[in-house]
């Protein structure tokens, strides 16, 4: 198993997210999916439907990471320009993918046929492959380390499902959680000291307010199973010494 941690960037494309009209749900689903693949989501950028802005974000994140995912902007309308932006970033022309065209022809055969708008969804940067999509006709697009997905969350989910297990990943990130009705401000020093004492571990603190009481879950993350268990042990010991009740697995 490789020790290297693979990373991914995500570019969310769409004026509708930046205007507040649509609440993004792709960041969370891409993040959760990557976590399970053993790939760490390193950064997300949300950019408008402006080709230069998409190119800039795509270039920054595709070179800084092992993978780059995009959501949005691959539909049939004139404001769907993700394919053009990726082609520009890679310096390749946009072409009609024959298999994508065939898929769309079949899908729209009894729905009025392939209009000019619909044919746009067969456009890909030259050299790209398709990401199957069982929900609607239009496929996602894979080229190099880039994976372009739909903006509609349940279609993006289908495309992620098609990609499961296809990416070379790093060591899975392991985690342990412990939680309790513990005000995080009373254990801030403990958390910092425990994290400092366990080099390969990261401790996140997630406060909550339930039934009139404050509390927090503490999540330790590491790719090293032994370090993780040692860190968990030290943290639980520390919480006990401070007189707090805690629940393994979190509450």
**Which residue from 80, 123, 79 is spatially nearest to 100, judged by alpha carbons?**
123
Q: Cα dist. 123→57, 99, 131, 136, 141 in Å? A: 21, 11, 13, 16, 9
Site for a copy of itself in 147-176 (CB under 8 A): 152, 173
Binding mask 31-60 for a copy of itself (x = CB under 8 A): xxxxx----xxxxxxxxxx---x---x---
If binding means CB under 8 A, how many residues of this protein chain bind a copy of itself? 65
> Of 94-102, 117-125, 224-232, 235-243, which part binds a copy of itself (CB under 8 A)?
117-125
Residue 131 sits in the site that holds a copy of itself (CB under 8 A): no
Continuous segment of H or E residues that includes residue 71: strand 67-71
Site for a copy of itself in 224-243 (CB under 8 A): none
Residue 195 sits in the site that holds a copy of itself (CB under 8 A): yes
Residue whose CB is less far from a copy of itself, 49 or 66:
49
Task: Say which DSSP state 4 is in.
Answer: P
Residue whose CB is less far from a copy of itself, 86 or 194:
194
Residue 75 sits in the site that holds a copy of itself (CB under 8 A): yes
Smallest gap, in angstroms, from Cβ of residue 127 to a copy of itself? 26
Contact between residue 38 and residue 172 where contact means Cβ atoms under 8 Å apart: yes
Residue 101 sits in the site that holds a copy of itself (CB under 8 A): no
**Which residue from 183, 198, 181, 206 is spatially nearest to 235, judged by alpha carbons?**
198
Report DSSP letters for 116-174, one per residue: HHHHGGGEEETT-EEE--SSSS--EEEETTEEEE-SSHHHHHHHHHHHTT-S---SPPE
Residue 100 sits in the site that holds a copy of itself (CB under 8 A): no
Residue 107 sits in the site that holds a copy of itself (CB under 8 A): no
Tell me the C-alpha distance between 173 and 164, whole Å.
Answer: 16
Contact between residue 81 and residue 72 where contact means Cβ atoms under 8 Å apart: no
Residue whose CB is less far from a copy of itself, 28 or 225:
28
Q: What share of the chain is helix, strand, coil (3-state, %, to 5)?
A: 40, 25, 35
Smallest gap, in angstroms, from Cβ of residue 111 to a copy of itself? 8
Out of 102, 109, 188, 225, point to the residue binding a copy of itself (CB under 8 A): 188
Integer Rg of the chain from CA: 22
Instruction: List residues binding a copy of itself (CB under 8 A).
Output: 12, 15-25, 27-35, 40-49, 53, 57, 75-79, 111-112, 115-118, 120, 152, 173, 183-189, 191-192, 195, 202-207, 219, 221
């Amino acid at each position: 198993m490789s020790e290297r941690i693979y990373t991914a960037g995500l570019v969310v494309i769409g004026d509708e997210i930046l205007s507040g009209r649509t609440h993004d749900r792709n960041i969370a689903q891409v993040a959760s999916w990557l976590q399970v693949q053993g790939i760490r989501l390193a950064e997300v950028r949300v950019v408008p439907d402006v080709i230069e802005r998409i190119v800039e974000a795509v270039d920054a994140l595709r070179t800084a990471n092992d993978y780059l995912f995009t959501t949005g902007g691959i539909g049939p309308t004139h404001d769907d320009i993700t394919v053009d932006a990726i082609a520009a970033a890679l310096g390749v022309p946009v072409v009609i993918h024959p298999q994508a065209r065939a898929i769309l022809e079949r899908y729209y055969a009894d729905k009025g046929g392939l209009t000019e708008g619909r044919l746009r969804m067969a456009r890909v940067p030259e050299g790209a492959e398709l990401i199957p999509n069982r929900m609607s006709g239009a496929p996602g697009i894979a080229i190099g380390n880039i994976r372009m997905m739909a903006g509609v969350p349940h279609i993006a989910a289908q495309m992620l499902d098609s990609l499961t297990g296809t990416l070379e990943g790093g060591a899975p990130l392991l985690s342990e959680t412990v939680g309790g009705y513990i005000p995080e401000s009373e254990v801030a020093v403990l958390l910092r000291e425990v994290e400092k004492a366990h080099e390969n571990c990261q401790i996140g603190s997630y406060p909550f307010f339930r039934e009139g009481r404050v509390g927090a879950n503490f999540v330790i993350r590491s790719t090293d199973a032994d370090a993780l268990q040692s860190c968990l042990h030290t943290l639980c010991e520390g919480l006990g010494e401070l007189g707090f009740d805690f629940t393994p697995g979190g509450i």
